[in-house]
Structure formats: C-alpha cells, structure tokens
Chain A
C-alpha cells in the first residue's frame, strides 16, 4: 500500500509557553481520495489539531510527527505547508479589511508559481468566476474585502471558494457546516463533492460536531476526539451511533481507560 496522504503519529501539542497539553497523543491516517470525519465534543482539541497540521505558530508540538505525502512537515512554515498542498478551512476565518477576495486569491495562486511567474489575469478571472458559480456566489463577491463584515455563512462559503481555487491535495475543513442554513449547507457540501470528483486523490478531513453534513458528504471513516485523543474510529455508521446516543458512552469508555 502506498504511503498515506496525511499521517499523524503520537502527536502531542500545547499552547506555546503554557503548560497543559491539548493534544495528548493523536494518531490518524488519511489516504488519498478518502473523506474522514472528525467529531467530538467542544473543547476536545479538533481545531487545535487542524491548526497544528496547518502550522499555527501559537502551538508547540512536544512529541510525535505529522507526515504529509511521506514528508515531515513540522519544520515547515504555514505558507510552505500551504504550497505543498495542505489547506485549512478555518472555523473562524480572519478579516483582512481593504484586501479584495480576488486580489487575495490571485496573490495566493501566484505564490504557488515559480519566482517571477504570474498567472494570466484573464485565466484567473475565469477560474474564479467558475468556482463562484459552483458555490452559487454573487459575482460582486470577489470585490469584497476578505471576510470583512461577512455573515457566518458567507465566511464559510468563502473558505470553500478558496479551496476550490487553490486545489490542495488535502482539505481540512473545520466546522465549515456550523452556522449554515440547510440550503447553504447543501451548496457547500455539493461544492466539496464536486472537488472530490474533479480530483480523485483529494483527501478531506471534515471536522464537525453535527452529523447533519455527513448526510451530504459521505465519510469513509469517522473518528471521535475526546480530551486530545482519538477515542474511537469506525465507518460511517459510527456517526449514526453518535447521533443517536451522544458522546456519553465514549466519555465513560475514556474514563474507564
């Protein structure tokens, strides 16, 4: 079997300069073309895992490794990880006033090209328009300042738009479903499915604490995170069990260990 797209091994991490560990030994493999759902109660460390994978400087990795396409990425800066093919759709995307989405994305696309090379402006515009149509976004959206004054739903859609334009090998989607009404949820889910269809090797780590989105994006694997560890992994049916029974049975199981 080929090496996993993403391989997280014994990962421990804490906030830089503080004591308490947030991630307490995470193991997780995502193969190319697979969709993994990561569920778990609030505060269990899901977003921390996502940000550590993307290289957020606020966290310190104290043990373990993160391999992406077989390469250790822990020493890479966030921008290097991005250019290598890791994409994080943020749970709380930052606002960048004064910078239009089009300008921002063009800069991001150009950062992937060789020094001095630039994507043709019309080609870029075409791609952007096409992806915006896919996500049923108003064409005027591209001129708006990145996340500035966006509603929760607009922010989430904007994250998926960026993923669609940047075409990563791995998309880590952190609660992209929360705050979306059912119509918006369907649009975002079908956007992600279209990306998976267009790129069969695309790996997705879908972080959510609701089962709802899993009705539209079928996961190959479901993991449950509890107190900084993967407490349980299973097939799609695990999500159904969580939906029906909540996390209590897992709490008890974790406590018993």
Chain B
C-alpha cells in the first residue's frame, strides 16, 4: 500500500486539488516536474520496479534534450510546463465543477446537441454515463475472442509479460523530447491486444471506455495486432475537450504483425490554449496494412505526424489527415513513412483548412532505405485558405537511398474562390452555407473514410468553427 506521508511532505493546505479519503491511497500534486513527482506517480499506480526505473531514466532523457527548434513556436512552452500539474488522480479531475467550464465550451456542447451527462464527461467534470453499459456488453463479446481492451494501467497490472514485451519498443524514450516526457509521466490511455487471426468487427472505441483518465494529458496507448488479425480503434470524439491544463503530449505505439490490418482513427478538438504534441507510430510487418486517420481541430499549436515504419516486405502504410487551423491556431501536421523493406508501399493524404490568422503546415518525411527495392510512396497534400489572412506551408522531406524506389509528391493550395461562392449562392445557399459546402467538399475524400457519425460531427464542428468567418 502506498504511504500517506507524502501529503504532509507536500503541504496539503495550499493545494486546491487536494483530496483525502480514508480508504484510498492519497496523492497530492504540485505544479511543475521533478523526480519526486515521477516517483509518486509510479508509487501511486502501484507499478512494478522496472516501470519506475523506466520512468526515471526517461526523465533524465527529457532533461537532456533541447526544445525542438522546428515545427511550431514552443518558446512559451517552458513557462507553461512550470505551471501545469503533471499528474492528477482521477478523483481530483472530477473535483472540477461544471460551473468552472467556460461558457463558450458549454455553448458548443449545446450547439452540437450533446446530452447533458456526456457534456460533463467531456468537460472533465463527470466521468460515468450510459455508454458504460454499451461498453460492457461489447467487452464481453471481445473477451470471448480473446481481445484485450483495457486502460493502460490495467494492461500493465493484468498482463505484465505481454505489456513489457512491447512497451516502448515502437517509440523509444529517446525518440524525441516529448516522447521522453511522456515516458516519464504517462498516465491514462489504452492497452489493446488482438490475438492471431481475430477480426474485430465493431470499432474499439476509447469513447466507450469513459473514465476520467481516458483523455489524460500524458496518455499512453499500446496496441498489438497479431498475425492476420484485423481491427479498428477510434480515439477521441469531435466535441471540444476542455481541460484546465494547457499541455497534451501523448504517445501511441502500435505493432501490426504479418498480414494483419489495423486502422487507428483520432479526431481531436482541443481548447485554444492547448499545446498538443503527440508521437504516434506503427511498426508494420510483412504484408500488413496500417492506416492512420487523423483529424485535428482546435489547440494553440498541434505538432503531430503519425508514422508508419514499414519493416516487412510488402507492408503498406496509409496516413489520412485533416487539420483545421482557426484564428490564432497553428496546425503543424503531416506524416512519416519509413520504407525499410522491399516492395513496401505508402500513401499520405493531407487536407488542411486555415482561417483568419490560422496557419497550417504540412510536414512530411518519406525515407527509403537502401535495399527497400521497389518501394512506392505517394504524397498528396492540399491546403484550403478561407480568406486572405490565413497561411499554409509545406515541408516535405524526402530521403531516398534506393534507386528502384518511386516517390510521388503533389501539393496544392487553393483559396475558396469568389466564383465558387457566387455559383453556390446563385442557387440559393447563403454565404455561410456556401462556404461550408465548399469546405465539406474539400475534406470529403478523407471524411468519407470516417465512421458516419464521426463524419457528420466533424462537418458540424467545422461549420461551427467557421461561423462568423464570413463577412
């Protein structure tokens, strides 16, 4: 059992999220990062020793790496990092009251028609609601197939061998500064295991697994899809995730074994104060297929480049992404494909929309190693500017050490044209509707890959975001 001494050590009385109950382990957080915090997280989670050591080593790596100078503007992030809480117990997170949630977020929930109970969960002020029920019946079904779908903490506790075998093998601690940070302080996320040959028909939705930890700011997800297995995992939802914290840095690791197929869909809509820096990567083996479907809305700065490491012959990787950069937001997104085996293929399709002082950047890496004969990669990135002030850039990096590889890259930038607007308006659509229709059409090639309810919500959300964007 964890000890209670820590409370006194930390000075309980000053702390606004302080939380003491008689029968629960007690943890008290302070802002900022320290070795002590990392030890407490591990202690509180009752982790095995190896995980504590892993975390502590990761913290050293984090301290040793400089802030990235590329991508978005991270100059103010250091200050933010001093102020945030690196770990909050679920109970603490629920302490927040509905009254503290900003009005604009409440209004958006209202407009999206999200049920009351769900709104509270999304705003991080309540955790349980009816979908728990739905989840339970699905869970039974999955268990029969041998599928494991747990919180990452339960994954570690219940399946220690399996967990340890794969954890941090896809995204090593030293990969980048934020991967190191996540490795040190991770909390929340999912653990998924699909046994050999099992096909999971219904998407595994983190949405169902509603608990306060699911959207942790340092969430960590580990997915193993065994040989010949097939599944679709959906993370997040399109309603704005409100958090009092302004930093989110997740790590998603996926292993797709021989002949397996896996699709990972995320739609995230962060509040405007958020730095969202996520590392998501899949290791794709022989003849396996991995697809990332990634939608990014909101945040102050998002830096996110889902990647596929194609390590087995004929492995295929696909990255489809939509980014919406509203006023004052910077979406620095794209994808990475590493061809490390012969006849591997990949496709990156990126669509971005920018409005007002919003900026979207496409940043992509395509690397083909020597010996990856016959590798084929194709990149298509299209940017749509809604007005004169918004901005877009592309940074395609291509490194090819194999002369039989074939690489295609196509980038377009378009502005919503006056002639398009006039055409639609001349059929009776008002300016806002016309604008929304053009944007919907623009993202259609990616949106049509989404489950229907997500596509509908995404469209509604973009329309809401665009409200007032037309003069």
* Residues of A in contact with B (beta carbons under 8 Å apart): 51, 54-58, 77-79, 81-83, 87-88, 90, 93-99, 104-105, 107-108, 111-112, 145-146, 162, 166
CB-based contact B428/A99 at 8 Å:
no
CB-based contact B422/A78 at 8 Å:
yes
Beyond A79-B428, A104-B427, A108-B427, whether A98 also contacts B422 by CB under 8 A is no
Beyond A57-B422, A94-B417, whether A162 also contacts B427 by CB under 8 A is yes
**Nearest 8 pairs between A and B by C-beta?**
A98-B441, A98-B444, A99-B441, A94-B423, A111-B428, A78-B425, A108-B427, A82-B428
Query: CB < 8 Å: which of B427, B431, B440, B441 contacts A166?
Result: B427
The CA-CA distance from A94 to B431 in the complex, in Å, is 16
Mask: chain B, 399-443; 1 = CB below 8 Å from A; 0 = not: 000000000000000000111101111111111011001101111
CB-based contact A107/B426 at 8 Å:
no
CB-based contact B417/A79 at 8 Å:
no
Q: Name the residue among B418, B437, B441 with the largest chain A CB count within 10 angstroms.
A: B441
CB-based contact B426/A54 at 8 Å:
yes
Contacts of B417 in A (CB 8 A): 94
Contacts of A105 in B (CB 8 A): 427
Q: Name the residue among A98, A111, A145 with the largest chain B CB count within 10 angstroms.
A: A98
Contacts of B420 in A (CB 8 A): 94-96
Using CB atoms, name the residue of chain B closest to A89: B426
* Residues of B in contact with A (beta carbons under 8 Å apart): 417-420, 422-431, 433-434, 437-438, 440-445
Using CB atoms, name the residue of chain A closest to B445: A98
The CA-CA distance from A73 to B355 in the complex, in Å, is 31
Contacts of A79 in B (CB 8 A): 425-431, 434
Contacts of B440 in A (CB 8 A): 98-99
Using CB atoms, name the residue of chain B closest to A96: B441
CB-based contact B425/A99 at 8 Å:
no
Using CB atoms, name the residue of chain A closest to B439: A98
CB A74 to nearest CB in B, in angstroms, measures: 16
CB-based contact A107/B418 at 8 Å:
no
Beyond A58-B418, A94-B417, A111-B433, whether A145 also contacts B441 by CB under 8 A is yes
Contacts of B424 in A (CB 8 A): 96, 104
Contacts of B422 in A (CB 8 A): 51, 54, 56-57, 78, 94
Using CB atoms, name the residue of chain B closest to A92: B419
Contacts of B437 in A (CB 8 A): 96, 99, 104, 107
The CA-CA distance from A192 to B408 in the complex, in Å, is 46
CB B387 to nearest CB in A, in angstroms, measures: 15
- Chain B interface mostly: helix
The CA-CA distance from A83 to B427 in the complex, in Å, is 8
The CA-CA distance from A98 to B425 in the complex, in Å, is 17
Chosen A-B contacts, 29 in total, with CB atoms closer than 8 Å, are A54-B422, A56-B422, A57-B422, A58-B418, A77-B431, A79-B431, A81-B426, A82-B427, A87-B426, A88-B426, A90-B426, A94-B417, A95-B420, A96-B420, A96-B438, A98-B440, A98-B444, A99-B437, A99-B440, A105-B427, A108-B427, A108-B428, A108-B429, A111-B427, A111-B429, A111-B433, A146-B441, A162-B427, A166-B427
Contacts of B428 in A (CB 8 A): 79, 82-83, 108, 111-112, 166
CB-based contact B441/A97 at 8 Å:
yes
Contacts of B430 in A (CB 8 A): 77, 79, 111
CB A176 to nearest CB in B, in angstroms, measures: 15
CB-based contact A93/B423 at 8 Å:
yes
CB A102 to nearest CB in B, in angstroms, measures: 13
Using CB atoms, name the residue of chain B closest to A162: B427
Contacts of A96 in B (CB 8 A): 420, 423-424, 437-438, 441
Using CB atoms, name the residue of chain A closest to B430: A79
Contacts of A104 in B (CB 8 A): 424, 427, 437
Contacts of A78 in B (CB 8 A): 422, 425-426
Contacts of A58 in B (CB 8 A): 418
Q: Name the residue among B420, B422, B428, B442 with the largest chain A CB count within 10 angstroms.
A: B428
CB B384 to nearest CB in A, in angstroms, measures: 10
The CA-CA distance from A257 to B440 in the complex, in Å, is 53
CB A160 to nearest CB in B, in angstroms, measures: 13
CB A93 to nearest CB in B, in angstroms, measures: 6
The CA-CA distance from A77 to B429 in the complex, in Å, is 10
CB B449 to nearest CB in A, in angstroms, measures: 13
Beyond A99-B444, A104-B437, A145-B441, whether A94 also contacts B429 by CB under 8 A is no
Using CB atoms, name the residue of chain B closest to A165: B427
The CA-CA distance from A88 to B425 in the complex, in Å, is 11
Contacts of A90 in B (CB 8 A): 423, 426
The CA-CA distance from A112 to B430 in the complex, in Å, is 11
The CA-CA distance from A227 to B420 in the complex, in Å, is 28
Contacts of A107 in B (CB 8 A): 429, 433, 437
CB A231 to nearest CB in B, in angstroms, measures: 28
CB B388 to nearest CB in A, in angstroms, measures: 15
Contacts of A82 in B (CB 8 A): 425-428
Q: Name the residue among B420, B423, B433 with the largest chain A CB count within 10 angstroms.
A: B423
Using CB atoms, name the residue of chain B closest to A88: B426
CB B421 to nearest CB in A, in angstroms, measures: 8
Contacts of A87 in B (CB 8 A): 426
CB A185 to nearest CB in B, in angstroms, measures: 23
Contacts of B444 in A (CB 8 A): 97-99
Task: Other than A94-B419, A108-B429, give 6 A-B pairs with Cβ distance below 8 A.
Answer: A57-B422, A82-B428, A83-B428, A90-B426, A108-B427, A111-B427
Contacts of A54 in B (CB 8 A): 422, 426
The CA-CA distance from A55 to B434 in the complex, in Å, is 15
Contacts of A77 in B (CB 8 A): 425, 430-431
